[in-house]
Chains A and B, each alone.
Chain A
Amino acid sequence: MGTSYTPPTNPDWWREPIERTEMIWIVLSFTWCIFMFGWMIGWHWIGNQNMSNETYKTTPEAFSQKVADMQAKYTVRQDEATGEDVVAPPPGSDVYLAGMMWQWRPILEFQKGKTYRLHMSSLDVGHGFSLQPENINFQVYPGYEQVLNLTPNKTGIFSIACGEYCGGGDTMGHHTMLGRIYVKE
């Protein structure tokens, strides 16, 4: 007697005992939920990969000025592929990376094992910082300057694609937006 589409046959259904299969499952599931809650907090201490909590308000003008200043100070060479400046700020320093329609600039050079304070912001619409092939992804917005302490643990050529749709058309657009980070020993 009783279905899911008729009223409960026992008007006092709230007092019915819970069947064993259900009870064991509820306890197991809830325990797992509590574990996941704890683990996510714990990773902030035991893990080396965590979100930064440091963000400032900025403007596209102020941020592009910081990028330009850094570029003037720490440009080390011209990139072979594009002829653009490659900027190699010293370890521990503040590094500025701007997302704009449709590129990430400037091209950066880091040293493996050293930590950099990477400031990210956008000069126009929302973009996504997507470091490949590491596959590290962040949202980047105009007006917000996020500071991430970044420590490369591999050498090589790393690309930055765009992870947030930012418009564009047939010749240029979201899918052509790229940047680059070189990591050397």
Chain B
Amino acid sequence: MSTTTMSEYRVDPVSGLKINRTANTLVKWNAFAAVVFLLVGGLFGLGVALTRMPSVQLLSPEIFYLALTAHGLINLAVWIIFFEMAVLYFLGAHVLGNRLATPRWAWTQFWLMLVGAAMVAVAVLGGNSSVMMTSYVPLTAEPHFYLGLILFAVGALIGCFVFLGTLVIAKREKTYSGSLPLVVFGGVTATIIAVFTIVSGALILIPTFLWSVGLIEHIDPMMYRVVWWGFGHSSQQINVVTHISIWYLISSLVFGAKPMSEKVSRGAFLLYILFLQLGSAHHLLSDPGLTSAWKIFNTSYMIYLAVLASMIHGLTVPGSIEVAQRKKGLDAGLFTWLRKAPWGNPIFSGMFLSLVGFGFIGGITGVVMSVEQINMIIHNTMYLPGHFHGTLVVGTTMAFMAATYWLIPVVFQRKIALTGMAKWQPYVFSLGAWVFSIALMGAGTMGVQRRHADITFAGQPLAYQYPEIAKGLMDIGEIFGVIMSVGAVMFIIVVLASIFTGERIAEDSAPWPKVEDADVVFEKSGKKHIGIWGMEAPGTFVLAMILFATIILYYFINFKYLSTVWGMS
């Protein structure tokens, strides 16, 4: 057992957490790397956006495909997974007042991921690996493209085990008592899914690497897709679980809220573990060689239980905020609790925009498009990028940004600089991302294909003209894509300004005022009941019913449209 002296720890004046210095350094470096990659990937994304605008078409097709590959990999994998490593270490060490297991292995995680990302970047920028992030065989990339991905994944896998080891230490050294806190439970959920995900990735990327250097002769393109999506989709579920944990965390930090029901929230996390992996099959709905029975079983029986889990979190997170606000005296009417929320605080506004946007934009569309038949009129159109920007950008990235505003004072011991910019950032970023997603989905509904360098088919004898409104939607969407980029740049400026020039928070400075637990305030008030209609969170229930009605309406609109196209059987 290592010798744990108090100097290895500091008590953070901002959060009151007992923070291990080594763990903190690793959180810092992973979070910093994440933000740098967000910037790099975002710049490629801006290039993509300006090319997909029919009236601009900035990049030539060759550079476009290179930029799209880079954007996908960096923003979908590198930024998010580096940030998730920071979150896992924070949950295992900081939240539990614990040290990090095997810091040396944690550094191995960091460097392997960095070297892996660099190798992929070299391969992509070299111009011979424009195979998109999905790298479907038999498209071929340079061997170091696959090797870089493998190293990156191995790094992440090591990070997962460091986190699990950290939990073992916390249990053994009794840094907490009873059950794990809900957010750490969420972290465990993410880690379990991550292990499954990375193993799936290894199962397909290692043979593909061997194929690229000539040691394996043939990789079946269908088999590649089946296994690859066990990696590709599950990795998105890691993001969902992580950002939902962040929603719960921020609800407690800002409002002193506690989960409405530990049982329900944890049960919902468990549903993800049990039912999500096979749900990855919804990426294969329009593939040959798989039967409808296989598709329906895997995507509906399995995924709908994962959908159920998301619907539950979608209610319990705002519900816990509502309950806390009501207990603190904002018990009048349906929405007073929401109106009087701290909308000028980017930690809250970012989190709440992430929650609402993820539900309405990413969530509803995700449920509808993963119906076997509906998928035929959506598959691989611009609807896809529209949808997953609605989950990954509107949901995950916004939540990570909101969390960063809280993490900077705690982890980097600096006050947020440029608070005015920080206050507006979630709104600018979300405005851009929301309209971008919706407009792209509109264009996709009209048939505009994804990953096309030029949607006008210029110079082709068989050229097809998309409806003018589809091109207009692409223009509008990409203009808001630029606004989204502005929001991202604002975030990066605030982060860099804060960690390099922000006012230092001395270790021995007076503790920051802590938000009181809503329960404590409630007890003091002497009141017994909150809410109306026998519900503690009636406002949230009304919001949830709006979501519910929207799903049903949207579901049947799509079936109505489907029923008008050519007959197929």
Contact = CB atoms under 8 A, between A and B. Distances in A.
B496 interface: no
A62 interface: no
Given A4-B252, A136-B566, A138-B379, A19 B449 contact: no
A10 B568 CA distance: 56
B249 A4 contact: yes
Given A52-B569, A134-B566, A25 B312 contact: yes
Interface string B169-188: 00000001111111110000
A78 interface: no
A67 interface: no
Residue with the highest number of chain A CB atoms closer than 10 Å, among B221, B308, B519 = B221
A162 B455 CA distance: 11
A106 B435 CA distance: 40
Contacts of B311: 25, 29
Contact of B288 (A8, A41, A140): A140
Interface in B321-365: none
Interface stretch (A43-51, A69-77, A90-98): A43-51
A149 interface: yes
Interface string B545-569: 0001001100100010011111111
B214 interface: no
Interface stretch (B24-32, B112-120, B295-303, B414-422): B295-303
A163 B566 CA distance: 18
B312 A5 contact: no
Given A8-B178, A50-B373, A148 B460 contact: no
A32 B548 contact: yes
A29 B258 contact: no
Query: On chain B, which size bracket covers the interface?
Result: 35 or more
B179 A11 contact: yes
Interface of B: 60-62, 65, 95, 130-132, 134, 136, 138-139, 176-184, 220-222, 225, 248-249, 251-253, 256-264, 284-289, 291-292, 295-296, 300-301, 304-305, 307-308, 311-312, 315-316, 319-320, 367, 371-373, 376-381, 445-447, 449-455, 457, 459-464, 466-467, 517, 519-520, 531, 534-538, 540-541, 544, 548, 551-552, 555, 559, 562-569
Given A3-B252, A21-B541, A51-B285, A133 B447 contact: yes
Nearest to B291: A53
Given A3-B252, A4-B183, A151 B464 contact: no
Contacts of B537: 19, 21
B447 A47 contact: no
Nearest to B564: A153
Nearest to A178: B462
B558 to A, nearest CB: 11
Contact of A18 (B132, B264, B372, B378): B264
B258 A2 contact: yes
A64 interface: no
B565 A175 contact: no
A142 B221 contact: yes
Nearest to B311: A29
A176 B460 contact: yes
Contact of B566 (A43, A107, A145, A150): A150
Nearest to B535: A21
Given A20-B534, A29-B308, A133-B467, 4 more contacts: A4-B181, A5-B181, A126-B221, A161-B464
Contact of A8 (B134, B262, B564): B262
Interface of A: 1-8, 10-11, 13-14, 16, 18-22, 24-26, 28-30, 32-34, 36-37, 39-41, 43-44, 47-53, 55, 81-82, 107, 115, 120, 124-126, 128, 130-146, 148-154, 159, 161-170, 173-176, 178-180
B252 A5 contact: yes
Contacts of A55: 288-289
Given A18-B261, A48-B568, A151-B567, A4 B288 contact: no
A17 to B, nearest CB: 8
Given A11-B178, A33-B307, A178-B463, A170 B60 contact: yes
Given A4-B183, A21-B315, A173 B252 contact: no
B452 A175 contact: yes
Nearest to A38: B300
Nearest to B127: A169
A135 B182 contact: no
B517 A1 contact: yes
A175 B454 contact: yes
A82 B378 CA distance: 30
